[in-house]
Amino acid sequence: MFIEPSIGKKSQHEKKGHIEVICGSMFSGKTEELIRRLNRALIARQKVEIFKPSIDKRYHEFDVVSHNESAIRSTPVNFADDIILLAGDCDVVGIDEVQFFDQQIIHVAAVLANSGKRVIMAGLDMDFEGKPFDPMPQLLAIAEYVTKVHAICMKCGDLASYSFRLSDAKEKVMVGEKESYEARCRKCFLEDKK
């Protein structure tokens, strides 16, 4: 389990920012892990702000909601740059569904961390074809701490790291409902891939 390298109030002089990325397939518990870290930061009396791309309107507009229904209020934003303006003087910036932002999010994450903030991002590392989901590879490269979480293959019960799309839709971004995707291991993903 991820343990914070440092947490709690620090003077402006001591503040050192860093980047954490939580990645994995659908149903792997990425958002739950993001919420766990943000809740711990709140207990440590850190000022926390949470953002997500406004494309993800599956659930409540202002909540980061995970499949197990633990929720934290979040702000939907249209552009990655908006996060810099809205983050203000907070200590910790959480970003969910980060794979839906464009390449500008790489710059934004660096600017926030360079200014002394702890940046925690959660996102899909591969698309439904099993290809790296931009801009995740670049975010993984610039992060100090990377956590890959795994789901359980819905076909065989092994560890799963692929998101298998059950429909024939070909667009890359199809915001997922539970009935449209299954977590799959490599073998079961390849067996049924169209």
Active site residues: 97
What DSSP designation does 177 have?
P
Q: Is 27 known as a binding-site position? A: yes
Q: What is the distance between the alpha carbons of residues 9 and 18, in angstroms, rounded to a whole number? A: 15
Burial of 47-81, coded b for 16+ CB within 10 Å and e otherwise, reads ebbbbbbeebeeeeeebbbbeeeeebebbbbeebe
Is the distance from CB of 25 to CB of 158 less than 8 angstroms?
Answer: no
Closest CA to 27 of 179, 187, 129: 179
Binding site residues, Zn ion, CB under 5 A: 153, 155-156, 158, 185, 188
Q: How far is the CB of 152 from Zn ion (least distance, A)?
A: 9
Q: How far is the CB of 127 from Zn ion (least distance, A)?
A: 19
Q: How far is the CB of 123 from Zn ion (least distance, A)?
A: 23
Q: Is 59 known as a binding-site position? A: no
Q: Is 130 known as a binding-site position? A: no
Q: Is 121 known as a binding-site position? A: no
Instruction: Please say whether the dihedral angle defined by the alpha carbons of residues 5, 9, 11 and 17, taken in this order, is positive or negative.
Output: positive
Q: Would you say 89 or 192 has its CB closer to Zn ion?
A: 192
Q: How far is the CB of 50 from Zn ion (least distance, A)?
A: 33
Q: Would you say 141 or 156 has its CB closer to Zn ion?
A: 156
Closest CA to 91 of 21, 31, 34, 38: 38
Q: Is 28 known as a binding-site position? A: yes
Q: Would you say 112 or 153 has its CB closer to Zn ion?
A: 153
Q: Would you say 148 or 155 has its CB closer to Zn ion?
A: 155
Q: Return binding residues for substrate.
A: 173-176, 181
Q: Which residues are annotated as a binding site for ATP?
A: 24-31, 96-99
Annotated binding residues: 24-31, 96-99, 153, 156, 173-176, 181, 185, 188
